[in-house]
């Protein structure tokens, strides 16, 4: 038997005509022999309008009441959709999140799903209904209505597909999930910002996860987390046509040859720095504990090596969380005698691609593109398949366009325009794969705590060395000049952390240990032609720990647990980098083993 979950976004149900068109799609899927669950968002701009209504009453609406208000948008859509389907002669029933039994935690406005009951949906499906579920909402254990965060209906849809697929008390189902929206698929970047962006035919879960959390608003990043964890085949497609969209699939061979598959922009970020904190174990832990205690997701973290017993910790948060973050940190800054500074006018540009793991020179090319547009980089962080750069908000779109064109993302390639057999093959593999997912016991356990963080592995590398340049002037092209010099020696740079403090830039990066001295010589030479006062240091005695998993960045507690476990063992963190699939931490080499043990313990890994 097969089940299709269809999700219709706001613009796909914006008026009566579109609701009817969506209803027809659902009926067609039913007539093709599937059971059908439809998840709908609030119509058009309803959610924005509801937020504006609240702001007419108060600038600081209580989160619980906000959820009560926002959930009404989806409730309008489900009833209209049920009426539409019934008017076309099919059976349909609408259900709110609470009626389905979507239980979440109590973090209002950004709740996480704890469990979903399948009983009521299953009964309705067996009775021949098309089941229509309100996206974006749930209920906590005290029966309060909650919402999952903006764009959360995607997450509802994929989570429903996941529980139905793995329901131990239900029949074996082949499950697929279609995300119908106002674009015909995932593009190399937002086609509204870069009109020559190209449609992608297939993209891996990890790439989509990084792209979504880097700002590709076409999908809610947590929905991809579910899809990957529970093996749900996903297609993003147009609600206005029947054309095939973009398949989000497990990684396949051809993807590893594509260094950059897409670029994305988060327009509204805020940069916060604590300058001059004591360079001691436990300080980062205290900083990020204070922030995550307020359920604020820290985005980029640029913690690099200190000098003269002092260190600078820089990070970003969504700009709407700036005030709360500053409030959380003020007492700590005072206690540590550190300067708390912020910049509310910054944006983050990122590039993502599986092939970055094996192709060299990607960061250098990105920095060159920005330098040639005279765009200054305020922070850099790298991940295994992602590089992010923080720029002035005024430069954001220019930066995105420059990067998109530097990697020729508008040109056809494998999996995007130049379709090849391999692409079709990976789609077919995903459909078939939909029956064969992993160990059932393990999956059932995961379903019992659906959105818990999933850390799968801790690895350690001891074959690298670290270089830091202190006090680089904050000018476009400076960091690029350093990386260009290092690359000219044929040296591959792995992790990069750049942080702006007191108007100067600290730049740290790791290279293979045997290349440390030549890399240092090249970096010093390049820095001398920028400013003779730039200080450089190198350290061959480092260990890099990689904490691998899914949704690492969006779970507020992960960085806190990493910092906490290392702090309690008295281990100082020299560098840190975060992405959705990996958090990497550099420590002194002689503490590597202990750090690995501590991290395995805190994440319960054998
Ligand atoms: P829905 O209401 O259907 O959930 P969204 O507005 O959330 O729709 O998502 C669709 C929009 O996402 C598109 O109109 C597009 O402007 C934007 N978008 C951002 N990045 C991308 C991308 N990489 N590919 C496609 N669309 C993107
Ligand atoms: N209606 C909600 C929002 O606008 C959820 C969604 O559309 O996915 O964010
Ligand atoms: Mg959306």
DSSP letter for each residue of 6-68: EEE-GGGGSSHHHHHHHHHHHHHHHHTT-EEEEEE--STTHHHHHHHHHHHH-SS--HHHHHH
Residue 154 CA to ligand 3 center (angstroms) comes to 7
Residue 219 CA to ligand 3 center (angstroms) comes to 6
Q: Residue 290 corresponds to which tokens in the numbers above?
A: 């204070």
Task: Kindly report, residue by residue over 313-346, the tens digit of the pLDDT.
Answer: 899 999 999 999 999 999 999 999 999 999 999 9
Q: How far apart are the first and last CA of the chain?
A: 38
Do residue 240 and residue 312 come from a single domain? no
Place of tokens 């937002």: 190
- Structurally, the chain folds into a number of domains equal to 2
Residue 283, CB-side half-sphere exposure with 13 Å CA sphere:
25
Residue 472 CA to ligand 2 center (angstroms) comes to 43
Do residue 398 and residue 421 come from a single domain? no
Q: Kind and range of the H or E element at 422? A: helix 421-433
**For residue 148, which atom of ligand 2 is closest to its CA?**
5
**For residue 211, which atom of ligand 1 is closest to its CA?**
23
Beta-carbon neighbour count of residue 404 at 10 Å?
A: 27
CATH number at residue 530: 3.30.2130.10
Distance, in Å, from the CA atom of 159 to the CA atom of 584, rounded to the nearest integer, reads 28
Distance, in Å, from the CA atom of 593 to the CA atom of 576, rounded to the nearest integer, reads 17
**For residue 151, which atom of ligand 1 is closest to its CA?**
7
Ligand 2 atom 5: the closest Cα is on which residue?
A: 151
Residue 551 CA to ligand 3 center (angstroms) comes to 18
Residue 244 CA to ligand 3 center (angstroms) comes to 18
Beta-carbon neighbour count of residue 456 at 10 Å?
A: 11
Q: Is residue 450 part of a domain?
A: no
175 in Cβ contact with 389 (< 8 Å): no
Do residue 381 and residue 430 come from a single domain? no
Whether 153 lines ligand 2, by a CB cut-off of 6 Å, is yes
Q: Kind and range of the H or E element at 428? A: helix 421-433
Do residue 432 and residue 480 come from a single domain? no
Whether 353 lines ligand 1, by a CB cut-off of 6 Å, is no
Whether 578 lines ligand 1, by a CB cut-off of 6 Å, is no
Distance of CA 132 to the CA centre of its chain: 28
Q: Is residue 523 part of a domain?
A: yes
Residue 318, C-beta contacts closer than 8 angstroms, at least 6 positions apart: 266, 268, 269, 270, 297, 299
Do residue 112 and residue 160 come from a single domain? yes
Ligand 1 atom 3: the closest Cα is on which residue?
A: 9
Distance, in Å, from the CA atom of 342 to the CA atom of 83, rounded to the nearest integer, reads 50
**For residue 8, which atom of ligand 1 is closest to its CA?**
3
Q: Is residue 521 part of a domain?
A: yes
Residue 220 CA to ligand 3 center (angstroms) comes to 6
Residue 222 CA to ligand 2 center (angstroms) comes to 13
Residue 185 CA to ligand 3 center (angstroms) comes to 12
Distance of CA 216 to the CA centre of its chain: 9
Distances (CA, A) of 151 to 40, 47, 61, 195, 229: 11, 10, 20, 23, 19
pLDDT at 494: 87
CATH number at residue 89: 3.40.1160.10
pLDDT at 185: 97
**For residue 151, which atom of ligand 2 is closest to its CA?**
8
Kindly state the DSSP code that residue 298 receives in the 8-state scheme: P
Using DSSP's 3-state secondary structure scheme, residue 376 falls into coil
Distance, in Å, from the CA atom of 188 to the CA atom of 178, rounded to the nearest integer, reads 20
Ligand 1 atom 21: the closest Cα is on which residue?
A: 190
Burial of 342 (0-12, 13-18, 19+ CB in 10 A): middle
Burial of 172 (0-12, 13-18, 19+ CB in 10 A): exposed
Q: Is residue 95 part of a domain?
A: yes
Distance, in Å, from the CA atom of 42 to the CA atom of 46, rounded to the nearest integer, reads 6
Whether 42 lines ligand 2, by a CB cut-off of 6 Å, is yes
Whether 289 lines ligand 1, by a CB cut-off of 6 Å, is no
Q: Residue 397 corresponds to which tokens in the numbers above?
A: 């779109």
Residue 192 CA to ligand 1 center (angstroms) comes to 9
Whether 10 lines ligand 1, by a CB cut-off of 6 Å, is yes
Which ligand is the nearest neighbour of the Cα of 189?
A: 1
Residue 402 CA to ligand 2 center (angstroms) comes to 30
465 in Cβ contact with 539 (< 8 Å): yes
Whether 73 lines ligand 2, by a CB cut-off of 6 Å, is yes
Range of the domain at 376: 263-412+455-602
pLDDT at 424: 60
Do residue 500 and residue 430 come from a single domain? no
Do residue 99 and residue 191 come from a single domain? yes
Q: Residue 491 corresponds to which tokens in the numbers above?
A: 């040296």
Do residue 134 and residue 24 come from a single domain? yes
Q: Is residue 446 part of a domain?
A: no
Total count of residues recorded for the chain: 606
Distance, in Å, from the CA atom of 534 to the CA atom of 536, rounded to the nearest integer, reads 7
Listing DSSP states for 507-544 in one string gives: EEEEEEGGGHHHHHHHHHHHHHTT-TT-EEEEES-EEE
Distance of CA 346 to the CA centre of its chain: 18
Ligand 2 atom 8: the closest Cα is on which residue?
A: 151
Task: Kindly report, residue by residue over 244-277, the tens digit of the pLDDT.
Answer: 999 999 998 989 999 999 999 999 999 999 998 9
Do residue 423 and residue 522 come from a single domain? no
pLDDT at 435: 44
Distance, in Å, from the CA atom of 46 to the CA atom of 276, rounded to the nearest integer, reads 46
Q: Is residue 79 part of a domain?
A: yes
Whether 182 lines ligand 1, by a CB cut-off of 6 Å, is yes
Of 213, 215, 214, 201, the closest CA to residue 248 belongs to 201
416 in Cβ contact with 185 (< 8 Å): no
Q: Is residue 65 part of a domain?
A: yes
In a mutational test of the pocket of ligand 1, which residue from 217, 219, 240, 350 has the highest number of ligand atoms less than 8 Å from its CB? 217
Distance, in Å, from the CA atom of 14 to the CA atom of 312, rounded to the nearest integer, reads 48
Predicted TM-score (pTM) of this structure: 0.92
Whether 151 lines ligand 2, by a CB cut-off of 6 Å, is yes
Distance, in Å, from the CA atom of 346 to the CA atom of 116, rounded to the nearest integer, reads 38
Residue 41 CA to ligand 1 center (angstroms) comes to 14
Pairing of strands 535-539, 464-473: antiparallel
Mapped to the 3 state alphabet, what secondary structure does 324-358 carry?
A: HHHHHHHHHHHHHCCEEEEEEEEEEEEEECHHHHC
Whether 181 lines ligand 1, by a CB cut-off of 6 Å, is yes
Whether 44 lines ligand 1, by a CB cut-off of 6 Å, is no
Of 593, 435, 267, the closest CA to residue 601 belongs to 593
Counting as low any pLDDT under 70, the low residues of the chain are: 304-306, 419-441, 444, 556
Whether 41 lines ligand 1, by a CB cut-off of 6 Å, is yes
Distance, in Å, from the CA atom of 513 to the CA atom of 540, rounded to the nearest integer, reads 6
Do residue 34 and residue 150 come from a single domain? yes
Of 517, 519, 511, the closest CA to residue 466 belongs to 511
Q: Is residue 278 part of a domain?
A: yes
Which residues of 117-243 form beta strands (DSSP E)?
130-134, 137-139, 145-147, 174-181, 202-204, 234-238
Tell me the helices (H) and strands (E) count for the chain, helix number first: 18, 28
Degrees, nearest 5: CA angle 426-130-136: 70
Ligand 1 atom 12: the closest Cα is on which residue?
A: 218
**For residue 186, which atom of ligand 1 is closest to its CA?**
24
pLDDT at 436: 45
Do residue 500 and residue 548 come from a single domain? yes
Q: Kind and range of the H or E element at 569? A: none
Do residue 166 and residue 17 come from a single domain? yes
In a mutational test of the pocket of ligand 2, which residue from 6, 47, 49, 110 has the highest number of ligand atoms less than 8 Å from its CB? 47
């Amino acid at each position: 038997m097969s089940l299709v979950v269809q999700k219709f976004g706001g613009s796909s149900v914006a008026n009566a005509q579109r609701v009817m068109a969506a209803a027809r799609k659902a009926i067609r899927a039913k007539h093709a022999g599937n059971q059908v669950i439809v998840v709908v968002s609030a119509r058009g701009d309803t959610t924005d309008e509801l937020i504006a209504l609240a702001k007419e009453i108060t600038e600081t609406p209580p989160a619980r009441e906000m959820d009560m208000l926002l959930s009404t948008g989806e409730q309008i859509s489900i009833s209209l959709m049920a009426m539409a389907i019934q008017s076309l002669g099919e059976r349909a029933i609408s259900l709110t999140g609470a009626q389905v039994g979507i239980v979440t935690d109590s973090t209002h406005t950004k709740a996480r799903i704890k469990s979903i009951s399948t009983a009521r949906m299953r009964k309705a499906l067996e009775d021949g209904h098309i089941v229509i579920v309100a996206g974006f909402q749930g209920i906590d254990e005290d029966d309060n209505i909650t919402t999952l965060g903006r764009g959360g209906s995607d997450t509802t849809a994929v989570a429903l597909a996941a529980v139905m697929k793995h329901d131990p008390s239900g029949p074996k189902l082949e499950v697929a999930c279609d995300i119908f929206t106002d674009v015909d698929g995932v593009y190399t970047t937002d086609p509204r910002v870069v009109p020559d962006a190209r449609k992608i035919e297939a993209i891996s879960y990890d790439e989509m996860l990084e792209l979504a959390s880097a700002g590709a608003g076409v999908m809610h990043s947590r929905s991809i987390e579910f899809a990957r964890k529970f093996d749900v085949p996903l297609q993003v497609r147009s609600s206005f046509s029947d054309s095939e969209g973009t398949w989000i699939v497990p990684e396949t061979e051809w993807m590893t040859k594509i260094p950059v598959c897409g670029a994305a922009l988060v327009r509204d970020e805020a940069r916060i720095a604590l300058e001059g904190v004591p360079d001691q174990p436990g300080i980062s832990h205290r900083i990020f504990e204070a922030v995550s205690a307020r359920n604020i997701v820290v985005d980029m973290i640029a913690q690099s090596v200190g000098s003269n017993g002092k260190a600078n910790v820089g990070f970003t948060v969504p700009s709407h969380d700036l005030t709360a973050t500053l409030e959380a940190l003020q007492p700590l800054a005072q206690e540590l005698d550190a300067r708390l500074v912020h910049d509310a006018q910054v944006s983050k540009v990122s590039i993502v691609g599986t092939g970055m793991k094996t192709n060299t020179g990607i960061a250098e090319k990105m920095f060159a593109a920005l330098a040639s547009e005279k765009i200054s980089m305020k922070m850099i962080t790298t991940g295994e398949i992602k590089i992010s750069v923080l720029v002035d908000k005024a430069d954001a779109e220019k930066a995105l366009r420059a990067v998109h064109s530097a990697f020729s993302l508008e040109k056809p390639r494998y999996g995007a325009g130049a379709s090849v057999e391999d692409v079709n093959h990976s789609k077919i593999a995903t459909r078939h794969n939909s029956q064969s997912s992993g160990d059932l016991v393990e999956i059932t356990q995961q379903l019992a705590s659906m959105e818990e963080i999933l850390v799968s592995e801790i690895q350690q590398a001891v074959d690298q060395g670290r270089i830091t340049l202190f006090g680089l002037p904050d000018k476009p092209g400076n960091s690029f000049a350093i990386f260009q010099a290092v690359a000219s020696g044929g040296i591959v740079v792995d992790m990069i952390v750049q942080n702006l403090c007191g108007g100067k830039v600290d730049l740290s990066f790791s290279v293979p240990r045997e290349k440390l001295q030549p890399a240092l010589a090249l970096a010093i030479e390049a820095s001398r032609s920028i400013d003779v006062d730039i200080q450089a240091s190198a350290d061959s005695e480092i260990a890099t720990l990689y904490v691998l998993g899914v949704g690492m960045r969006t779970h507020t507690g992960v960085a806190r647990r990493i910092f906490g476990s290392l702090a309690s063992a008295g281990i100082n963190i020299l560098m840190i980098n975060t992405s959705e699939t990996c958090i990497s931490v550099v420590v002194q080499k002689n503490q590597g083993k202990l750090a690995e043990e501590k991290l395995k313990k805190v994440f319960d890994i054998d």
